[in-house]
Chains A and B, each alone.
Chain A
């Protein structure tokens, strides 16, 4: 068995073992990066590191401060049966996981505590820059900006209307990436903290590059039932230039997630549900 297959087997096994984990700790464990070893060729879209057999319901690669996970923590300790909370998000400003629970924004402590840091967070889908005292939340039909901590407590609607979801703060917290579900196909946009929006066009699964300048997204083909194909693109927010990142016939690249150092790109293969990782080419230089 090749080293690569062994590594993949280890990864898959580790992921399986984590499938029943609950609580404040991530449901999916860190995925080791064996390809970073010397002598191992960098993966690319034609030959990605593919991690199959994931037992998480919704593979959604996320880079935390300590590595890659197949999905963020979605179920938290300390909640009563039937009590909903949102999926956790990794805050790079504080190096901690946060989530919305019963109207409060909580930090997930390593001990399993849900430490409330802000209240009146009505939505479940949030993103946080706690170090900046910022949080954004999808609250019914609006994206709301919350300021808390030393900056004082306030909330303001950044953008309102049906179908806005998935607010994600830029690395520096100055912009919010928002997706919108529409009958004619989803779009994504960036909104500054004053609510000024910029429509970036059709796209699916938009995600920040750690440089805060580029946004990756997928263009998906489907038949109304199934995903047929998907490729990743990137848009430069300064130049508005768009660039195709991947074009493969055998993989539907979706849900891009770039490592904090910008070296790696994890994504979901919409055809198989596998998690893949490739070495990310430098953006913006070409």
Chain B
């Protein structure tokens, strides 16, 4: 049961897949040619069979089927085969003393057809149903390659009105009469129509013929007709269009005329066929489409260059570059030397000996950075000279206290700095007082720090510059003789010979320890050589004096030593 259902489903799907045009419905009607068989009351079998066939033909044509009558017993099967008939119906009348209608078949397909024809006749004829009969010896059933049957419509030798059920007229009379002929012809047609699941039109002897024909075909990949193009669009010059079925088939029902059908499909060049359509006929206009582009040649590396012409078929090289012109693409040439193995051939490597895949060349001098000579570092402190704020003296810390761009290590020594204020004495506007700011308010070249201390060597409150006795305190400045020298300085002053302690406490001068006369040879500074006299800083006058005194003292001492 399940198998039956499945089979039915498959058949149903198959039928759905068949486009209507594919079911060519050509009917060959073969009336008996047995003119030697007389019909009771006049005429012969062939004569009336032909009439019946013609009536059926007209009805079938009017219904839209393509019917043809061929009375040649021997050749009608071949004619039907050659024509491509869908079914073959042979129309005979019986003899031998029986009554009624019977239809003969050979194959199962023929039996189905025979059943429809028999039923069609029984619907019109008032005679006995003799049923369907299998026959394997009939030429028309043996020589046809489509479903076929042979019907014996009535008994032409039955002239009695007391035929089956006693209905008049007799079967022979029925066969001869126009009414009977119309019923027989329409009965055969009705059976054929039913076989094709159609309703026969009219029944009139002269029904209107078909007014349209079919233009049909398939779309295929030229030149192989077995290779169809489902979904191809087929358009007529009238603007009508349709889509090819899953089998590439298409069809138009058209008024008679000449039409051009054009098929298009993605990837194919359009193709056209021009055909003339006739009413009631099928005309074929199958269309083979050529591929839009030539079949792509083998291209193993997919670089768009066919292998046959690719100078390097296994390695994609769209540019086909062949630098040495040897016919072998660069891509296929043996790998060029690459000593450092960085992937850059030596010939192109900006540093062939050292791997530098990035080919960095910061100074763009053509020599990769990794191949540049190491930067100069004269002092070897790890800081290249170019960046070293003191390239000649190791100073890895690059300290630059004065932020003058020169490292501390390289800051040029500027000589003594007595007051330690960072300003060399040579440029210090105040040597004795630390004044890093070198402020000099009155711009007199002397720093403010030094301006505030007026030299007063004898501490008598009178500055040395105006003191009439600068080294002997004489606050009163008594100068009795008005010679410019204070009375306190009336005696010549010999330093070191009972002279007032130059280094007296509070005089502001450091002489020796500062609290007593300096002992010879114990100078803590100043001129060496045994003349250890500490000279105070003072005005030029004082210095001059000190120098003179010192010179005299040295001469005396040397003479005494010499004795």
- State whether A116 touches B220 (Cβ < 8 A): yes
B residues 126-143 touching A (CB-CB < 8 Å): 137-139, 142-143
A residues 234-267 touching B (CB-CB < 8 Å): none
| Interface check B363, CB cutoff 8 A | no
Closest to A79 in B: B226
- State whether A140 touches B145 (Cβ < 8 A): no
B residues 63-90 touching A (CB-CB < 8 Å): 68, 70-76, 78-79, 81-84
One digit per residue, 1 when the CB lies within 8 angstroms of any chain B CB and 0 when it does not, for chain A 177-211 equals 00111111110000000000000000010000000
B-binding residues in A (CB < 8 A): 57-58, 74, 76-84, 86-87, 101-104, 106, 112-117, 119-125, 138, 140, 162-163, 165-166, 179-186, 204, 220, 222-227, 270, 273
16 more contacts with CB within 8 A, not counting A182-B75, A222-B74, are A79-B226, A80-B249, A103-B283, A106-B225, A120-B275, A122-B284, A125-B83, A163-B72, A163-B75, A165-B78, A185-B72, A224-B34, A224-B92, A225-B137, A225-B138, A226-B137
Supposing A104-B225, A119-B288 touch, asked if A84 and B83 sit within 8 A by C-beta, the answer is no
Closest 4 CB pairs of A and B: A78-B226, A103-B284, A80-B247, A181-B75
- State whether A138 touches B284 (Cβ < 8 A): no
- State whether B139 touches A222 (Cβ < 8 A): yes
Q: Identify B145's interface contact among A58, A102, A123, CB under 8 A.
A: A58
One digit per residue, 1 when the CB lies within 8 angstroms of any chain A CB and 0 when it does not, for chain B 204-242 equals 000000000000011010111111100000000000000
A residues near B46, Cβ cutoff 8 Å: 183
Q: How far does the alpha carbon of A82 sit from the alpha carbon of B81 in the complex, in Å?
A: 16
- State whether A117 touches B32 (Cβ < 8 A): no
The smallest C-beta distance from A250 to any residue of chain B, in angstroms, reads 16
Q: How far does the alpha carbon of A82 sit from the alpha carbon of B285 in the complex, in Å?
A: 17
Q: Identify A115's interface contact among B81, B83, B145, B224, CB under 8 A.
A: B224
30 A–B contact pairs at CB < 8 A? Answer: A57-B145, A58-B81, A58-B143, A74-B145, A78-B225, A81-B14, A84-B24, A101-B225, A102-B218, A103-B286, A104-B286, A113-B224, A114-B224, A114-B225, A115-B223, A116-B220, A116-B288, A119-B286, A120-B275, A124-B84, A138-B82, A165-B75, A181-B79, A182-B75, A183-B71, A184-B33, A185-B33, A186-B72, A223-B34, A224-B33
Supposing A185-B74, A186-B74 touch, asked if A224 and B37 sit within 8 A by C-beta, the answer is yes
| Interface check B547, CB cutoff 8 A | no
B residues near A138, Cβ cutoff 8 Å: 82-83
The smallest C-beta distance from A133 to any residue of chain B, in angstroms, reads 16
One digit per residue, 1 when the CB lies within 8 angstroms of any chain A CB and 0 when it does not, for chain B 484-495 equals 000000000000
Supposing A119-B286, A140-B281 touch, asked if A181 and B138 sit within 8 A by C-beta, the answer is no
* B24, B75, B245, B285: residue with the most chain A Cβ atoms closer than 10 Å: B75
- State whether B217 touches A220 (Cβ < 8 A): no
- State whether A102 touches B225 (Cβ < 8 A): yes
B residues 44-71 touching A (CB-CB < 8 Å): 46, 50, 68, 70-71
* A77, A112, A124: residue with the most chain B Cβ atoms closer than 10 Å: A124
A residues near B396, Cβ cutoff 8 Å: none
- State whether B83 touches A119 (Cβ < 8 A): no
Count of CB-CB pairs between chains A and B under 8 Å: 157
B residues near A119, Cβ cutoff 8 Å: 273, 286, 288
B residues near A226, Cβ cutoff 8 Å: 137-139
B residues near A181, Cβ cutoff 8 Å: 70, 72, 75-76, 78-79
- State whether A204 touches B74 (Cβ < 8 A): yes
| Interface check B554, CB cutoff 8 A | no
Size bracket of the B interface: 35 or more
| Interface check B17, CB cutoff 8 A | yes
- State whether A224 touches B73 (Cβ < 8 A): yes
- State whether A104 touches B288 (Cβ < 8 A): yes
The smallest C-beta distance from B181 to any residue of chain A, in angstroms, reads 18
Q: How far does the alpha carbon of A226 sit from the alpha carbon of B137 in the complex, in Å?
A: 6
Q: Identify B22's interface contact among A80, A113, A180, A224, CB under 8 A.
A: A80
- State whether A165 touches B82 (Cβ < 8 A): yes
A residues near B71, Cβ cutoff 8 Å: 183
* B81, B92, B228: residue with the most chain A Cβ atoms closer than 10 Å: B81
Q: How far does the alpha carbon of A227 sit from the alpha carbon of B75 in the complex, in Å?
A: 12
A residues near B22, Cβ cutoff 8 Å: 80-84
Closest to A218 in B: B74
Q: How far does the alpha carbon of A122 sit from the alpha carbon of B288 in the complex, in Å?
A: 16
* A77, A163, A181, A222: residue with the most chain B Cβ atoms closer than 10 Å: A181
Supposing A124-B84, A165-B79 touch, asked if A82 and B72 sit within 8 A by C-beta, the answer is no
| Interface check B552, CB cutoff 8 A | no
| Interface check B551, CB cutoff 8 A | no
A residues near B220, Cβ cutoff 8 Å: 116
Closest to A117 in B: B223
B residues near A123, Cβ cutoff 8 Å: 82, 84
| Interface check B23, CB cutoff 8 A | yes
Q: How far does the alpha carbon of A162 sit from the alpha carbon of B71 in the complex, in Å?
A: 12
Closest to A226 in B: B137
Closest to B34 in A: A224
Supposing A116-B220, A119-B288, A120-B273 touch, asked if A86 and B72 sit within 8 A by C-beta, the answer is no
- State whether B83 touches A183 (Cβ < 8 A): no
* B50, B71, B78, B248: residue with the most chain A Cβ atoms closer than 10 Å: B78
A residues near B217, Cβ cutoff 8 Å: 102-103
A residues near B7, Cβ cutoff 8 Å: none
Q: How far does the alpha carbon of A84 sit from the alpha carbon of B78 in the complex, in Å?
A: 16
